[in-house]
């Protein structure tokens, strides 16, 4: 599949092994992994960082294979999920950073173009999350309010 705002195809990257079973060498059970996910979420880690930390520090290759639930599903069940999805929050953070840059460098046209692309990605994600009921129907993207929310 092609990239959204570039000419690249984006085919490179690592792939996971085609296994459906929990590895036999893994010593953590499903309940222990869920407790670790909760502990890391209380420390303020986003879902992607939780997965990386579990892989690197605890040797858990896949939370989904172990618990049969994703990290975000575990947090949702325990009512610890963030109010905004992580990808949308990261795009909003990027938008705030670009706007701050453009305040001091107002002639930076590539940055202005990057802001337009980021804004369109945000709007596309908001539309998706509203359709899937992960965001409220009345939620609006306002750059001034987002700046307060992100900082």
* Length of the chain as a residue count: 151
Q: What is the pLDDT of residue 22?
A: 80
Distance in angstroms (rounded) separating the CA atoms of residues 56 and 46: 15
Q: What are phi and psi of 107, to 5 degrees?
A: -95, 5
Q: What is the pLDDT of residue 33?
A: 93
| CATH class of the domain at 86-150 | mainly alpha
Its pTM stands at 0.82
pLDDT tens-digit profile of 3-55?
A: 788 877 777 777 776 778 788 888 898 999 999 999 999 999 999 999 999 99
Q: Name the more confident of 83 and 118.
A: 118
pLDDT tens-digit profile of 95-110?
A: 999 999 999 999 999 9
Instruction: State yes or no: pLDDT of 2 exceeds 80.
Output: no
Distance in angstroms (rounded) separating the CA atoms of residues 37 and 128: 26
C-beta neighbour count of 68 within 10 angstroms: 10
Domain boundaries, the chain: 30-77, 86-150
Q: What is the pLDDT of residue 16?
A: 72
Q: What is the pLDDT of residue 20?
A: 80
């Amino acid at each position: 599949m092609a990239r959204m705002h570039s000419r690249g195809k984006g085919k490179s990257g690592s792939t996971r092994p085609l296994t459906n079973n929990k590895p036999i060498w893994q010593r953590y059970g499903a309940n222990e992994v869920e407790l670790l996910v909760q502990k890391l979420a209380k420390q303020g880690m986003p879902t992607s960082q939780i997965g990386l930390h579990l892989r690197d520090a605890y040797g858990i290759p896949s939370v989904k294979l172990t618990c049969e639930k994703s990290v975000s599903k575990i947090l949702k069940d325990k009512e610890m999920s963030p109010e905004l999805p992580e990808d949308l929050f990261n795009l909003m953070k990027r938008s705030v950073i670009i706007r701050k840059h453009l305040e001091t460098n107002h002639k930076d046209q590539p940055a202005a173009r990057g802001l337009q692309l980021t804004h369109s990605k945000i709007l596309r994600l908001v539309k998706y999350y509203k359709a899937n009921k992960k965001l409220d129907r009345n939620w609006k993207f306002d750059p001034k309010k987002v700046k307060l929310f992100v900082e």
